[in-house]
Chain A
Amino acid sequence: MTKKGYLIITAIGVIALISLIIVLATGSSEQSEKTAVLLNTNEVMNNPEANTNNSNNSADNSGENVADLEVENLLSDIISETTEELGIIEQDDDSQLINNDSQALLEVGLSYSDNDF
């Protein structure tokens, strides 16, 4: 066998070794997960009361948040009425309007100018 042949065989061997390591590692991880699921299942089967309590607590928390959120939405809607209400009331400036005859009255006072006579 030539030197080149030895190198090829060695390279194939290294690749095969690395592939084997990867396969073994993946299989170990999957097995761990399966084991954990099995352990959890066993725990649930052995202690069903504890699991029910956890579910109830989760549902209670969810209900509390929804109720609070709905009430807060209602608050924001109804409170915003008051801002719009005030806006409608104050949209006109009557303080300027009341003096609108002032200029005309000034001109009345100049109707009989002494320069005319």
Chain B
Amino acid sequence: MLRKFIFILIFSSLALTPFNITLAQGLNADNYNSTPDDANRITGLCANINTLISQRTSRFSARTSKVTRAQSQRAAQLAENKSRNHAQMQTQREIWDENRLDRYFQLRNLVHNDEQSAAIEIFIEKIDQAVAVRRAAVDQAINNYQNSLQNLIDQRNTTVQSAISRYQSSISVALDAANFDCANGNAVSEVRKSLADTLETAKSALTASRQSIDGLGSQVTQLVNTRRQGVNSSIEAFKITFLQAKEELKAALNG
């Protein structure tokens, strides 16, 4: 009877061995509070931290270069727009000047006496002066806009660079700490949690900086509105002068 009991006990133990091993592994994993994959990754954190830091730092550098490239492209595009607009404006002003001279010539053909001739010359002088005043005001509005826009861009570039520097600094401190903790044999789970918290904080700070400077688009819109108001004011002043001169001219020609 005893021999039979011992046989059953030994047989049962052997039969349940795989199950016991699995159960033990499960309990062990629960202690890490993570899946087996996570456990391997956490264990790998300290083993490969220098490689991981090197890889991520390279990625960071590449992405920072992308920001710099975007800023350079923006500067080039703005310079191209400015140059093109200036050239177009100069070309059109020459065309408008020639057209105005042609109109002056036609007006002079309407003259029947010296008084009308004098009235024509006064009219021409007033118009030329009004055009010059308007163009100076338009140029001033354009210059003010471009200077203010450049200030905004400089401000944005500085803010972006500062945000990246702060991010880089936070990351660097966190990685050094993780490296130090790993070298001192601290619990890998704690090392990882501390690193994750710092990374999240750094990312949030960078996101906040990015959101704050993305509002500059509305400030550019305000600058555009200010420029438009300046240009429109000069145009309205020009129209008033022109209409007045025209009525005086008509009166002289019809007198």
Q: Can you name the residue of chain B whose Cβ is closest to the Cβ of A86?
A: B231
Which one of B69, B134, B195 contacts A117 once the chains associate, using CB atoms below 8 Å?
B195
Q: A98-B217, A101-B67, A108-B63 are in contact. Are A89 and B81 (CB under 8 A)?
A: no
Q: Which bucket holds chain B's interface residue count?
A: 35 or more
| B133: Cβ under 8 A from any A Cβ | no
A78-B103, A79-B239 known; A117-B196 Cβ under 8 A: yes
Q: Does A109 contact B (CB under 8 A)?
A: yes
Contacts known (A98-B74, A116-B52, A117-B45); A106 close to B202, Cβ less than 8 A: no
Stretch in B14-22, B27-35, B88-96 with 4+ CB within 8 Å of A: B88-96
B220: A residues at CB distance < 8 A:
94-95, 98
Is A46 an interface residue, CB under 8 A from the partner? no
A75 to B238, CA, bound (A): 11
Binary flags per residue of B31-52, CB closer than 8 Å to A gives 1, else 0: 0000000000100010001001
Nearest chain B CB to A56 CB, angstrom units: 14
- Residues of A contacting B206 with CB < 8 Å? 105, 108-109
By a CB distance below 8 angstroms, the chain A residues around B227 are 89
Contact across chains for A94 and B163 when beta carbons are under 8 A apart: no
A112 at the interface (CB under 8 A from B): yes
Query: Counting CB contacts under 8 A, is A11 at the interface?
Result: no
A86→B236 CA distance, assembly (Å): 12
Residue in A closest to B85 when the chains form the complex, CB atoms: A88
How close is B223's CB to chain A, nearest CB, in angstroms?
Answer: 8
Interface string of A40-80 (1 = CB under 8 A from B): 00000000000000000000000110111011011101110
Contacts of A113 in B (CB 8 A): 199
- Residues of B within 8 Å of A84, CB to CB, are 92
User: Number of contacting residues on A, CB 8 A?
Assistant: 46
Also in contact, A99 and B214, with CB within 8 A (given A78-B242, A85-B231, A114-B200): yes
Given the complex, which residues of A lie within 8 Å of B23, measured CB to CB? none
User: In the complex, A87→B227 CA distance in Å?
Assistant: 13
Answer yes or no: A100 CB below 8 A from chain B CBs: yes
In the complex, chain B residues whose CB is within 8 Å of the CB of A92: 81, 85
A105 and B67 in contact (CB under 8 A), knowing A89-B142, A112-B171?
yes
Minimum CB–CB distance from A115 to chain B (whole Å) comes to: 9
Interchain residue pairs with CB less than 8 A apart (10): A74-B106, A74-B246, A78-B96, A78-B131, A89-B89, A105-B160, A108-B167, A109-B210, A111-B59, A111-B63
